Structure 1
């Protein structure tokens, strides 16, 4: 592994402390959540849904505000990139998200399709791009909400290293991680970060869903390994992609946001009975919407998640309260 990656890994807390936002007159943090946006491996290297979603993201960022973007994996279909000079960086990313309002930090993690290729090359691309930020396979970011004493922590995971890869075309569950040592290292790191967090809003993001009613369904590995930690440490929300639609599921007080509509749309709801009864509150997979994403705004009192379709309509809005830190530390 390149030495600078070990430095990034060992100094994760230091890296996260650099996530500073210019406050101006704002009193909130706003960002977009985009998954599964990675175009195509042959000309024109993009899909109509990716283009339409990019245009609406730019409009939303301009009108509602966005400080940064979370890119939650499957960044380059179908086999990731080969090296840091792969032309896909240009034709599927730089040439698509061109508007000024999207010239903000992109915080990136890898999906299952990225892991078919060279994820290290995507990490190394952080050195070439002013807005592409991918310091390590998994990392933590800490923010202070402007003009308040409230804080936001976002923990970015590599769920493929944690659970294993999956064959999208067979709708397979990931069976086992490629390296048990690497999976356990990430899980121990995650537990340590969650246990230490005193953030008012604690978000965890990965590619695979914990809960989903669509084609891939709930991820067994994450139900076993991740969900207990989210519950124990009272995470505010879990953000993901993988299923190519928009979903909001609320379970055990945690908001589960699926935002995987950046490039394809899938109306499949075959796993609607695999989530706890009454937990599935919103679903949108109609290809006629031309894709979509989520806009998140976090202020001193609450976190609002708005699902937006590429045709320009807000589809659903969910509100989550800040963590009750007394409850967290009473039970740890």
Structure 2
């Protein structure tokens, strides 16, 4: 039996508050228009690597997300993938969806749209189940597509990118089985995605350009840099003046500045199980912040200003970074 959120009227308004359309003929990425609040600000939370039925402090992180979400009056939540452990969902009726999502993120402030990408653990299950509109009948907050664009109140465009098919090792390892339906051939899929992303970025007139994927471009955590993204995705981000790249995959919180552009690499993959002490090196000037415990991140945007905050399981602000476009300098 389908289980709906208690705030049924809120959910009805949420469904009415956004629409899905296509970009111009130059790109095949779907675009979701998310309406703005009257104050002209945009605020959202970012969390990744979370779906463990409340265990490994997932419920504690969710509680703090609800508290901060209420304080900031957030517009939506972004999930950076690995939504359901250990091996994604088994199908559309898998109770893990309720036990790891609907029953955990119950705070009133979190009864808003969740824009979600797939992670590598999601591909180990029925990837198409997470993409199915059926899940929105169970919980109408759930918006999960492979790659798409959030047109956020004309302040920002957030480009959600399906990064798992870029990673070559997933196609040769034998320990796990991946759901590559609608992805193969891999080279064609990834090249088409890059072409679509480049076209969309070239057309964007947003004040802020944000790209979200599951895998890190730069990280000092367990997995480190994703070489395929460094080689193929990073040059596009630099060429089209992307401001922020957000990811999960490494179970930590971190902030690294690019050496050749204004891009900030922001990891928010600490939604549940964290990897204490699993660090590849912190001694470089580009590393602004690293924390190997659980937590999440908030983003506050105006047309001219962005502020990022990282929080731990107690809701304490661990790191804050901001930039004003008209001032052309950062405050760290």
Deviating beyond 4 angstroms after TM superposition, the runs of 4 or more aligned structure 1 residues are 12-15, 164-167
The structure-2 alpha-carbon separation of the partners of 1:75 and 1:165, relative to structure 1 and needing over 3 Å to count, comes to farther
Encode CA deviations 1:201-221: one digit per residue, 9 max, x unaligned: 000000000000111001100
- Supply the distance in 1 between the matched residues of 2:246 and 2:162 (Cα, whole angstroms): 12
Kindly indicate whether the alpha-carbon contact (under 8 Å) linking 2:256 and 2:288 is maintained by their aligned counterparts in 1: yes
Within the candidate set 303, 307, 319, 1:304 is matched to: 307
- Supply the distance in 2 between the matched residues of 1:311 and 1:186 (Cα, whole angstroms): 39
SS of the aligned residue for 1:216 comes to coil
1:241 corresponds to which residue?
248
Within the candidate set 115, 118, 128, 2:123 is matched to: 115
Residue 66 (structure 2) pairs with residue 55 (structure 1): no
1:294 corresponds to which residue?
297
Residue 280 (structure 2) pairs with residue 271 (structure 1): yes
SS of the aligned residue for 1:30 comes to strand
The structure-2 alpha-carbon separation of the partners of 1:89 and 1:193, relative to structure 1 and needing over 3 Å to count, comes to same
TM-score (norm 2): 0.82
Encode CA deviations 1:177-229: one digit per residue, 9 max, x unaligned: 85211111111111111111121100000000000011100110010011111
- Supply the distance in 1 between the matched residues of 2:86 and 2:169 (Cα, whole angstroms): 13
Kindly indicate whether the alpha-carbon contact (under 8 Å) linking 2:160 and 2:212 is maintained by their aligned counterparts in 1: yes
1:38 corresponds to which residue?
51
Residue 143 (structure 2) pairs with residue 130 (structure 1): no
Give unmatched runs, 5+ long, in structure 2. Answer: 1-18, 175-182, 328-332
Displacement of 1:158 after TM fit? Answer: 0.5
Kindly indicate whether the alpha-carbon contact (under 8 Å) linking 2:252 and 2:267 is maintained by their aligned counterparts in 1: yes
1:327 corresponds to which residue?
none
1:199 corresponds to which residue?
206
Kindly indicate whether the alpha-carbon contact (under 8 Å) linking 1:162 and 1:186 is maintained by their aligned counterparts in 2: no
Kindly indicate whether the alpha-carbon contact (under 8 Å) linking 1:115 and 1:165 is maintained by their aligned counterparts in 2: no
1:11 corresponds to which residue?
22
- Supply the distance in 2 between the matched residues of 1:247 and 1:105 (Cα, whole angstroms): 25
SS of the aligned residue for 2:140 comes to coil
Kindly indicate whether the alpha-carbon contact (under 8 Å) linking 2:207 and 2:304 is maintained by their aligned counterparts in 1: no
Displacement of 1:311 after TM fit? Answer: 1.0
User: Relative to total residues, which structure has the larger helix share, 1 or 2?
Assistant: 1
- Supply the distance in 2 between the matched residues of 1:196 and 1:323 (Cα, whole angstroms): 22
Displacement of 1:301 after TM fit? Answer: 1.9
Note the aligned Cα RMSD (angstroms).
Answer: 2.8
SS of the aligned residue for 2:62 comes to helix
1:94 corresponds to which residue?
102
State which drifts further: 125-134 or 309-318. 125-134
- Supply the distance in 1 between the matched residues of 2:193 and 2:278 (Cα, whole angstroms): 31
- Supply the distance in 2 between the matched residues of 1:142 and 1:157 (Cα, whole angstroms): 14
2:162 corresponds to which residue?
158
1:316 corresponds to which residue?
319
State which drifts further: 183-192 or 106-115. 183-192
2:91 corresponds to which residue?
83
Within the candidate set 254, 273, 281, 2:263 is matched to: 254
Kindly indicate whether the alpha-carbon contact (under 8 Å) linking 2:20 and 2:33 is maintained by their aligned counterparts in 1: no
Kindly indicate whether the alpha-carbon contact (under 8 Å) linking 1:33 and 1:69 is maintained by their aligned counterparts in 2: yes
Residue 112 (structure 2) pairs with residue 104 (structure 1): yes
TM-score (norm 1): 0.82
Kindly indicate whether the alpha-carbon contact (under 8 Å) linking 1:159 and 1:206 is maintained by their aligned counterparts in 2: yes
Displacement of 1:163 after TM fit? Answer: 2.8
- Supply the distance in 1 between the matched residues of 2:319 and 2:190 (Cα, whole angstroms): 35
The structure-2 alpha-carbon separation of the partners of 1:95 and 1:306, relative to structure 1 and needing over 3 Å to count, comes to same
